[in-house]
Amino acid sequence: MPPSPIRIEEKFGLFSDRWSPRVVAELNDYQVKLARLEGEFVWHRHDETDELFLVIGGTVEIAFRDGTVRLSEGEMLVVPKGVEHCPRAQEECRVLIIEPRGVLNTGDAGGDRTAEADVWI
């Protein structure tokens, strides 16, 4: 059998909680995740890896210590490794995230906003 297509909107229809990335595919040792963002997250950094965000729907602001980047549908950002950031979304934003397998959403910060890693949908 050939590999299966992954329909992004269909996958988003399968969960509604915020800040809990779901894995939808793997590319070598990288994972493609979908997440719903709403409200303000926590400041954190990933010391071992860059992190790619691609907005599927809505708008998210990613705050950095030296400025804020606003991303809407069809826009992408790579957060460099080791750089502190804090995502915020006034209304729900749907994003695709790519990073190595096992990366935690809260990076170095930890705490109660930390979602379980490697949860597939």
Contact 101, 5 (CB under 8 A): no
Q: How far apart are CA 92 and CA 60, in angstroms?
A: 8
Identify which of residues 2 and 111 has a Cβ nearer to a second copy in the complex.
2
For residue 79, give the amino acid letter: V
Q: Is the Cβ of residue 112 or residue 117 nearer to a second copy in the bound state?
A: 117
Cα distances from 67 to residues 62, 63, 97, 111, in angstroms, run 9, 6, 21, 24
How far apart are CB 98 and a second copy at their closest, in Å? Answer: 6
Name which of 1 and 112 has its Cβ closer to a second copy. 1
Please say whether the beta carbons of 68 and 86 come within 8 A.
no
Positions touching a second copy (CB under 8 A) are: 1-9, 24-28, 30, 32, 49-52, 56, 62, 64, 66-71, 74-81, 83, 98-100
CB of 28 to a second copy, least distance (A): 5
Q: Least CB distance from residue 108 to a second copy, whole Å?
A: 17
